[in-house]
Chains A and B, each alone.
Chain A
């Protein structure tokens, strides 16, 4: 469901043909023997105030995408434009200035906070680095942010180990929020938390987004959480986006056979709705040697001959994008030639 506001607003982040290959070195001279194609030619955009959900199974490259858009990893190829500026070739000083507007929340609230720093120091560090205010003003900003994230401002002098998982995740959110960014990458922010704590954090993220018009790239493997929080959703499989659409549209009318299988695999907490599911055979293949043609063809229930040879191209049906030969044939009536 995209709100009117996000439809009209500017594009904040544009990713064009992003590729991330990691070399695999072998032998005595550590020659590059192969590449792990973690992310292989993906494009998307995020508007101001919009949440794009990124789902996929482990190893599909979701986290690499999240790190690449912040240039925590330099992309192998492709461009990442944030407010029109290409991050991939920005000099260090400019990149650092740019990062005030783009932040990240990590999955594991236990390992992503420095155990030797107080909460105040963890949250205030970014303010000091970017030279915001004097010491007193910074302390005030830290307390203010803690409050926004539902923590008692009196906690500034405590250490991370004194907090529970949910509270630590709030500290992680406060750290990302303190600079008033426009865009936050949320990398599996609730998957390490217990069920009763998850909803506290999800509600907080939704509330902050509405209050400060934040844009999120929300990376998760839990499809229900992603549906709940996202305006649009991209589904990844082995380094590629296979389907991208409005959240409501994608969940009601999934076109790609992988999305369909993924959705049907999610157990629903309602015993009256025990459903027939599409079981996918086998495992996700290794990104070291991805299948030719459409990468999903080895597990796809609909695969035809062409899927083994030719990579599917983007098909855009009124903003609902899908990459699949079979769907393309069904919709356009013509089979793409090889």
Chain B
């Protein structure tokens, strides 16, 4: 893949495996102009999502995961603004689209499901009504046909008695069911890309397993790409092909899932992976701790944004910001001290 790079932009545009990515985000910057100052919620973010693949976007709260997703949909409201960057869907730059053009994309080519199935459905309309709306906005079909397709869609997400449940209201359904309705709505127009923003965080583990299974099945049926935003490393390990780890509004590491979990190279990724207890872990083993806190996006540290919490930081890290670079074939990371594809952390290879 050949990408022209203009001088001055962050050189991280080829983050992708072979073949042109279906959705590509280049050097995206979304800032919020608040009374207290400029919140750089997304600050030079780049990633690529290949057709039919799942990219996991991981990070802690406030790292900019959700804002980056909303930016892709161009759903950033004042005081927020997309300041810079490109968002390419099959070569079409969404940031250059007019609002009517964008409306053709939203819900049709790119859909989104949200964390809170309780609040993202409208309580005064039946679920059938809400799914039908998505179909009728984008496609020229009769009411009857839209309803039939809605019922078929409800069946597709494995809600039983679709013919009667189509006329129910959101409050008559459980959390897991509502998330299924959200999925039905998102997939009603057969989108190419699905953005799933913490789709199971509000759900119990047994329901989470049901929803993830459903998504995997629908992904292969619909041949869609999924951008999975989550803080749950377990979920990422199980469903995604590629992982991008975000810290303080930037991607700090990006590679295939197998590679990331086998040999995390960035100290932050290493810290994250070793600080969660996993099933079957011996209790004598102390949990690793990342000292300190996630930085305030109003005042990011200078140089490498992770340096105040990093166990291997040196003077250089305070002054010079590391660029995301290919440290090993197919493995990108932003750290000064990764040499010959080796992590600066001791015992990082797991």
Residues in A lying within 8 Å of B, measured CB to CB = 1, 57-58, 164, 166-167, 194-200, 202-203, 221, 223-225, 227-228, 247, 251, 261-272, 274, 277, 279-280, 283-284
Contact A267 B288 (CB under 8 A): no
From A200, A264, A266, A277, give the contact of B289 (CB < 8 A).
A200
How many residue pairs bridge A and B at CB < 8 Å? 124
Residues of chain A contacted by B275 (CB below 8 angstroms): 195-196, 198-199
Task: Determine the main DSSP class of A at the interface with B.
Answer: helix
A269 to B281 Cα, complex, angstroms: 12
Chain B interface extent, by class? 35 or more
From A197, A224, A274, A283, give the contact of B277 (CB < 8 A).
A224
Residues of chain A contacted by B271 (CB below 8 angstroms): 196
Residues of chain B contacted by A58 (CB below 8 angstroms): 204
With A195-B233, A223-B205: A267-B60 Cβ-Cβ less than 8 Å:
no
Residues of chain A contacted by B11 (CB below 8 angstroms): none
Contact A228 B287 (CB under 8 A): yes
Contact B233 A283 (CB under 8 A): no
From A194, A200, A269, give the contact of B234 (CB < 8 A).
A269
Contact B209 A279 (CB under 8 A): yes
B326 CB to nearest chain A CB (Å) = 21
Contact A280 B206 (CB under 8 A): yes
Residues of chain B contacted by A263 (CB below 8 angstroms): 279
Contact B238 A265 (CB under 8 A): no
Residues of chain B contacted by A1 (CB below 8 angstroms): 283
From B206, B210, B213, B277, give the contact of A225 (CB < 8 A).
B277
A262 to B60 Cα, complex, angstroms: 25
Contact A199 B276 (CB under 8 A): yes
The answer to whether B119 has its CB under 8 Å from any CB of chain A is no
Residues in B lying within 8 Å of A, measured CB to CB = 60-61, 174, 176-177, 204-210, 212-213, 231-238, 257-258, 261-262, 271-273, 275-281, 283, 286-291, 293-294, 309
Closest chain A residue to B210, Cβ basis: A279
Residues of chain B contacted by A280 (CB below 8 angstroms): 206, 209-210
Contact A266 B234 (CB under 8 A): yes
With A194-B61, A196-B294: A266-B261 Cβ-Cβ less than 8 Å:
no
Contact B231 A57 (CB under 8 A): no
Contact B231 A194 (CB under 8 A): yes
A305 CB to nearest chain B CB (Å) = 23
A279 to B177 Cα, complex, angstroms: 15
Residues of chain A contacted by B276 (CB below 8 angstroms): 195, 198-199, 224, 269
A113 CB to nearest chain B CB (Å) = 17
A151 CB to nearest chain B CB (Å) = 13
Residues of chain A contacted by B235 (CB below 8 angstroms): 267
